[in-house]
Amino acid sequence: MAERFSLKDHLFNPETVGRLGGYFEAAGVFKAAPFVADVLAEMEPLELKARINLIANVLARYLPGDFPAAADAINAALPPPLDPTLTDDDFGHFIYAPLGVYVENHGLEDHLELSLMTLEAVTQRFSMEFSIRAFLNRWQDETLERMQDWVHHEHYHVRRLVSEGTRPKLPWGQAVGLTSAQTLPLLDQLHGDPTRFVTRSVANHLNDITKKEPDAVIDRLTEWQSADRQNEKELAWMRKHALRGLIKAGDPAALLHLGYRPDVAVTVSDFGITPDTLARGDSAEVAMMIEVKEDAPLIVDYVIDFVKANGSTAPKVFKMKVFDAKAKKPITLRKKHVFKDNATTFTLYPGQHQLHAQVNGRIVASVAFELT
């Protein structure tokens, strides 16, 4: 049996810890071997975040006790910045994450300016999106003021830090009490960025905002279209990515913004699931025939109302096809759906379920099926 992949072991292991220690040794800060030994002595049973905190704590024992001197040591030990000529898929390595935690732990209260300068340098090796949030919470105005400078930074990892670090719902990140009125002006300056690494972050940030303020996001995207500061194709991608949550939910305003009319005249026939009685763990085929009266772009999904433990139901949307339909030219769509049992994030319960065909956010056909 193949050994299960372990992310924590992939990111934090003797080789990567040795790499970090080696940079400090090369800079004349401390010897790598005892530092690595101290980390490895405690690291094995720890989970990923705990490993980051451990390395930060061990660093504190080896770096100078005076924070300005420690910051100088960190800067001296940093490897070359990530290639500034790239535009995406150059994330750096998690082994530098403990440097941000060290700065949080030792620079947050009394060394704001030096801490922000250090995070600016480190984020060019690995994103400081998690650590910067501690500074947004402690020194909101001052950190936002610095971000106004960072939106024009020559290195795209620093520009991305502005968007990613201020996201309302950053995965695994501590909450920050920022409003869209504070962050949207920053995104206004970043949406025309030439790098996908930054524009993806901007779109993800907007998607976060749609959870509470969908109209504000649609209005902003409309303004950006008029501003003409971003390549048309890239902005089209950003708009779709930013509105993906609303599109999945069938939000009419979001669909209309992207050119998908919720009231499109469409006929759905031969809609169903085969077999219509199946057990948990089985697979089935969802199929339908789509025909439109006039040419129209379509987003076709299917929705399953899953039975919950208490007998109520909850809908879940699945993608079927996005395409430009031609008038009076029917197209048959099919997709295999696996009713995976014992999944870690979703539990199936027996009972009668409902299957819906959804076209441009509107339910246009429904059938029942049984899950045993």
Looking at residue 91, its pLDDT comes to 80
* Residue pLDDT, tens place only, 6-48: 999 999 999 999 999 999 999 999 999 999 999 999 999 999 9
Using alpha carbons only, give the angle 77, 81, 82 rounded to the nearest 5 degrees: 135
* Residue pLDDT, tens place only, 83-129: 988 888 788 899 999 999 999 999 999 999 999 999 999 999 999 99
Q: Residue 190 has which token pair?
A: 């970043």
Beta bridge partners, 133, equal none
Q: How confident is the model at residue 1 (pLDDT cuts 50, 70, 90)?
A: very low
Considering the chain, what is the average pLDDT of its residues?
A: 95
| Distant-in-sequence, close-in-space partners of 333: CB < 8 Å, separation ≥ 6 | 287, 288, 289, 290, 300, 320, 321
How far is the C-alpha of 163 from the C-alpha of 147, rounded, in Å?
9
Looking at residue 332, its pLDDT comes to 97
Rounded average pLDDT over 310-337: 95
**Among 177-186, 188-197, 246-255, 266-275, the least confident range:** 246-255
Rounded average pLDDT over 323-346: 92
Residue 319 DSSP SS3: strand
Which residue has 């071997």 as its token pair?
33
Kindly list the strands in the beta sheet with 283-292, ordered across the sheet, starting from the edge strand earlier in the chain.
266-274, 283-292, 331-338
pTM recorded for the entire structure = 0.89
Rounded average pLDDT over 168-191: 96
Rounded average pLDDT over 289-299: 96
CB 67 within 8 A of CB 105: no
Looking at residue 115, its pLDDT comes to 98
Rounded average pLDDT over 158-184: 96
Q: What ranges make up the beta strands (E) of 128-173? A: none
How far is the C-alpha of 121 from the C-alpha of 144, rounded, in Å?
17
Q: Residue 226 has which token pair?
A: 């008029």
Domains recognised in the chain with CATH numbers: 63-192 (no CATH), 266-371 (2.60.40.10)
Q: Beta-carbon neighbour count of residue 323 at 10 Å?
A: 14
Rounded average pLDDT over 126-139: 98
Give the DSSP H or E segment for 371: strand 362-371
**Is it the case that residue 2 has pLDDT exceeding 70?**
no
Rounded average pLDDT over 172-193: 96
- For residue 163, the one-letter residue type is S
Q: Residue 6 has which token pair?
A: 């372990």
CB 152 within 8 A of CB 170: no
Rounded average pLDDT over 146-169: 97
What is the CA 21 to chain-centroid distance, rounded? 30
How far is the C-alpha of 157 from the C-alpha of 164, rounded, in Å?
10
Q: Residue 78 has which token pair?
A: 């940093």
